[in-house]
Amino acid sequence: MTVQDAASQTALAELLLAMADDEFVLGFWDSEWTGIAPILEEDVAMSSVSQDEIGHAKALYELLASLSGEDADEIAFGRAPAAYRHAALMNHPRIDWAFSIARRYLYETADAVRLESLAGSSYEPLANLVRKMRREETYHLLHFDLWLRRLTEGGPESRDRLIGALRDLWTDAQAVFAPLDGEEALVAGGIMPDRLETLRKRWLDRVVTRFAELGLPPMPAAPAPAPDGRRLHGIDFAWLHGEFTMVAASEAGASW
């Protein structure tokens, strides 16, 4: 199908940008573990996962570029920090291993719920890409579920650090499901089979159940995310933005 009405086109661009920026920004943060993860296997794993995420971002930026007539690299590297649309969960630096694992777990579970739903999108290019991405994301989900268990059962220090990080990130994690401008049009046209708030509840159910299974304490009540959950970024992201645009900015228009 082609997306005809202007409202749906604008909203679809917002959706693609949100997903791409989530993957892109998290891919950059976690690529920082390359060489300094706690064990060699994790150097490899975090690098591989980050490479997957940046690859997913690239495919999503290209899909967006094909709709808008822009250049995918320009979308990825040419925007000012305020124009990025990743969720607040991705605003934080990597901090420590427990923090990075907590964030990955919260993100991977949220992303899995989002992708499960979008695999049924009426917008075929997105549904096709999502079906492919899911096969890869499944490995991430398994890996970070394993780490969640490891840190929970590892000892008082790893458990405390993990719980602290989950609590610190809990509110910002809700923002993966922050409402998008024009969401109603996307749901009406079947481009999004479910509302984001429906997906958030589905995700909460799963995560809360998993935490209970592992004997992790309940998280504080989290209100539904505000519409600006993807618009406010802060100084840590401003620093990362400077890092990941450095090469592109060093010679505008250069071919890679």
Partner 1 sequence: MVVRGAPIRAADAADRDAAVWAAIAEVPDPEIPTISLVELGVVRGFAFGGGPGGEVRLTVELLPTFVGCPAVEVMREQVGDRLRELGVADEVIVELSFAEPWTSDRITPAGREALRRGGFAPPPPTGSTFIGDDLLTVLPVTTCPYCASRNTTLENPFGPTLCRAIYHCADCRQPFEAFKAV
| Residues engaged in binding partner 1 (CB under 8 A) | 41, 44-45, 47-49, 51-56, 58-59, 125, 128-129, 131-133, 135-136, 138-139, 142-143
Query: Quick one: tokens of 87?
Result: 């969720």
Q: How far is CA 112 from the centre of its chain?
A: 10
Give the residue with the Cβ less far from partner 1, 45 or 151. 45
140: CB partners within 8 A, 6+ apart:
49, 52, 104, 108
Instruction: Check if the beta carbon of residue 88 is closer than 8 Å to that of residue 231.
Output: no
Q: How far is the CB of 27 from partner 1 (least distance, A)?
A: 9
Asked whether the CA dihedral 94, 97, 99, 100 is positive or negative, the reply is: positive
Q: How far is the CB of 69 from partner 1 (least distance, A)?
A: 18
Give the residue with the Cβ less far from partner 1, 51 or 209. 51
Our CA angle for 18, 135, 173, nearest 5°, is 35
Q: How far is the CB of 21 from partner 1 (least distance, A)?
A: 16
Give the residue with the Cβ less far from partner 1, 121 or 174. 121
Give the residue with the Cβ less far from partner 1, 56 or 230. 56
Q: How far is the CB of 153 from partner 1 (least distance, A)?
A: 19
Return the closest-CA partner of residue 22 out of 56, 47, 45. Answer: 56
Q: How far is the CB of 139 from partner 1 (least distance, A)?
A: 6
Q: How many helices (H) and strands (E) does the chain have?
A: 10, 0
Give the residue with the Cβ less far from partner 1, 54 or 163. 54
